[in-house]
Every structure is written in C-alpha cells, then in structure tokens.
Amino acid sequence: MTDAALPILSPTAQIPTAVRNGGEDRMKDYRSELSFEKSLIVEMTKQLSKTTKLSDDEETQDAATKSYRDQLPTILADALISGGGIGIAASLDASLHQETKA
C-alpha cells in the first residue's frame, strides 16, 4: 500500500498514545488499520443506504443527484477517519501490539 492510499488524519485527530509514541513503523501500521476501518465504514453505509425506501421524487432524480448520493458513504467515512476513526483501528492496534505491553 502506498502512502497516497493511506487516510489523511487531521492535526486534531485522536491517535492512541501508544501509536504516537510507537515510532514511524507503528504509525504506518495504524494508518493501514485506519484504511481498513474506512473500507468497513463505506461498505456498511452503502448497505444501509440500500435498505432505505426512495420517495417518488428520489426515484426520478437526475444523474448529478444520484452521483452525489453515491458518494455520501465515502464522504462520511473520510470525515470519521480524519478525526481518528470510530475505534476499530485503535482496537486492532491494541490487539496486534499487546505483546509490547507485557
């Protein structure tokens, strides 16, 4: 995975202390874990949007509106990940590095 494919974190992102203090390799691992978290959030929100019933107006929406609606899961995931995610990456990191705590 290239650095360009890794999620962008805002300067105020809540990164676990162990990751911040763990060096460059651990931060790179954490970014990969965040990338997984983002993919999971996108897929979950796509499935959620498929379960909603469209109104009559939405059934006749133009291509631009449909395109925007299709982008919403990714936009939501980007916003969540830029702030540090929802905790999945932090849990993965803690599990993968628990041997360093002992």
Give residue 57's pLDDT band: very low, low, confident or very high (50, 70, 90).
low
* The two three-digit tokens of residue 64, written as one number: 């631009």
pLDDT at 7 over 90: no
Tokens 């499935």, residue?
47
Q: What is the pTM of this model?
A: 0.77
Q: What is the pLDDT of residue 1?
A: 45
Q: How far apart are CA 19 and CA 61, in angstroms?
A: 45
